[in-house]
C-alpha cells in the first residue's frame, strides 16, 4: 500500500512514520508513507495556499489549485515508481470535522485499497470544488475540534496500516482485539501470580483452556455491558449469551 499525506506541516509526520510499527512496516516493504508539503504547489509569488471567501465573512479558505496540483503530482510520481500497470484509483480523503466518523469498520475498508491520499487543512474551510471534484471520502475522528487534520490523519493511518498482513508481529492480535470481535477486551495478567497481595484469577493459572476461554468471554461481555452497552446490539452473541446479559 502507498499512503501520501498533503499537509503544510510534513515534519509532524517524521516521528510517526519513522518509528515503531509504522517504521518497521516500511522497512519490510509492506507500506510506503510520504508526507508532501502542498505549499510547494502554490502558484502565486508569495506561495499562499488560502484566500478570503467569496461573498465575504470571516476566515480563510484553502485554495483549490495547490491541492489539485499536489494530488496530480503524487499520482504522476506513483505511476513512475510503479512497475506494474496501476489498476485501482486512489481514495482521496479529506480530514475535516464535518466528515464521517472514523471507525474500525472504515479502517477495515481502507486497508483493502492500494493507495490512500490524505488532505490535512488548518483552515476555516476548503474550497468546495476540492470536496466536489477531488475527494472520495471525508473523515473526522470524533466530536471535538482540533487545530488541524494532521493528528486525525495519523490516527487513521496508524489504524489502517496495522491491519496490513505482516505488519503486526502477532497476527492473532489484530483479530482478537476490541472492536474486531465487537466486544471490549477481557482483562490480561502476567507474572507474578501474586503482587502486593493482589492475585491473578485462579482460572488463568489452572491450565484448563476451555475454562480460560469461557472466563475471558464472560469478562468481555461484562466489561462491554458496563462500559459500552451500545456495542452489544451489533456484537455477535449466542442466544444463551443474550439471555444471560438480559438478566
149 near ligand 6GU, judged by CB under 6 A:
yes
141 binds ligand 6GU per the rule CB under 6 A: yes
Query: What secondary structure does DSSP assign to 91-122, as a single string?
Result: EEEEEEEEEEEP-HHHHHHHTT-SEEEEEE--
Instruction: Assess 33 for contact with ligand 6GU (CB under 6 A).
Output: no
- 246 flagged as catalytic: no
Is residue 146 within the footprint of ligand 6GU (CB under 6 A)? yes
- Name 8's Cβ contacts closer than 8 Å, sequence gap at least 6: 37, 38, 39, 49, 120, 122
Q: Check the annotation: does 142 bind a ligand.
A: yes
In the complex, the smallest distance separating the C-beta of residue 98 from ligand 6GU, rounded to whole angstroms, is 9
76 given a catalytic annotation? no
- Contact partners, residue 152, CB within 8 Å, separation at least 6: 95, 102, 120, 139, 140, 141, 146
Asked if residue 97 binds ligand 6GU (CB under 6 A), the reply is: yes
Known catalytic membership, residue 129:
no
Residue 116, burial from CB neighbour count under 10 angstroms (0-12, 13-18, 19+): buried
Going by the DSSP 8-state scheme, the letter that residue 43 receives in this structure is -
Choices 124-132, 143-151, 205-213, 239-247 (CB under 6 A): range interacting with ligand 6GU:
143-151
37 SS3 class: strand
Q: Helices 239-246 and 209-227 meet at what angle, rounded to 10?
A: 50
Q: How many positions of this chain bind ligand 6GU (CB under 6 A)?
A: 13
Q: What are phi and psi of 49, to 5 degrees?
A: -120, 0
Catalytic residue from among 39, 91, 162, 216 = 162
Cβ distance to ligand 6GU smaller for residue 6 or 95 = 95
Q: Which residues participate in catalysis according to the annotation?
A: 97, 124, 162, 177
List of residues contacting ligand 6GU (CB under 6 A): 95-97, 99, 140-142, 144-146, 148-149, 152
Please report, in range form, the residues annotated as the binding site for S-adenosyl-L-methionine. Answer: 121, 141-146
Please report, in range form, the residues annotated as the binding site. Answer: 121, 141-146
Amino acid at each position: 500500500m502507498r499512503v501520501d499525506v498533503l499537509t503544510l506541516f510534513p515534519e509532524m509526520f517524521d516521528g510517526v512514520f519513522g518509528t515503531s510499527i509504522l517504521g518497521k512496516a516500511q522497512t519490510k516493504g509492506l507500506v510506503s508513507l510520504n508526507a508532501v508539503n502542498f505549499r510547494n504547489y502554490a502558484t502565486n509569488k508569495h506561495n499562499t495556499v488560502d484566500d478570503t471567501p467569496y461573498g465575504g465573512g470571516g476566515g480563510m479558505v484553502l485554495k483549490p489549485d495547490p491541492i489539485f496540483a499536489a494530488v496530480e503530482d503524487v499520482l504522476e510520481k506513483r505511476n513512475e515508481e510503479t512497475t506494474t500497470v496501476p489498476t485501482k484509483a486512489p481514495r482521496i480523503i479529506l480530514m475535516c470535522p464535518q466528515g464521517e466518523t472514523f471507525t474500525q469498520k472504515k479502517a477495515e475498508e481502507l486497508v483493502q485499497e492500494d493507495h490512500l491520499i490524505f488532505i490535512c487543512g488548518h483552515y476555516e474551510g476548503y474550497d468546495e470544488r476540492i470536496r466536489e471534484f477531488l475527494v472520495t471520502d471525508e473523515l473526522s475522528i470524533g466530536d471535538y475540534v482540533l487545530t488541524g487534520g494532521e493528528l486525525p490523519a495519523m490516527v487513521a493511518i496508524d489504524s489502517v496500516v496495522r491491519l496490513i498482513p505482516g505488519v503486526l508481529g502477532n497476527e492473532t492480535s489484530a483479530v482478537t482485539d476490541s472492536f474486531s470481535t465487537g466486544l471490549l477486551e477481557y482483562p490480561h495478567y502476567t507474572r507474578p501470580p501474586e503482587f502486593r497481595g493482589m492475585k491473578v484469577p485462579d482460572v488463568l493459572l489452572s491450565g484448563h483452556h476451555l475454562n480460560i476461554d469461557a472466563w475471558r468471554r464472560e469478562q468481555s461481555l461484562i466489561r462491554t455491558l458496563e462500559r459500552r452497552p451500545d456495542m452489544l446490539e451489533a456484537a455477535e452473541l449466542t442466544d444463551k449469551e443474550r439471555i444471560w446479559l438480559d438478566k
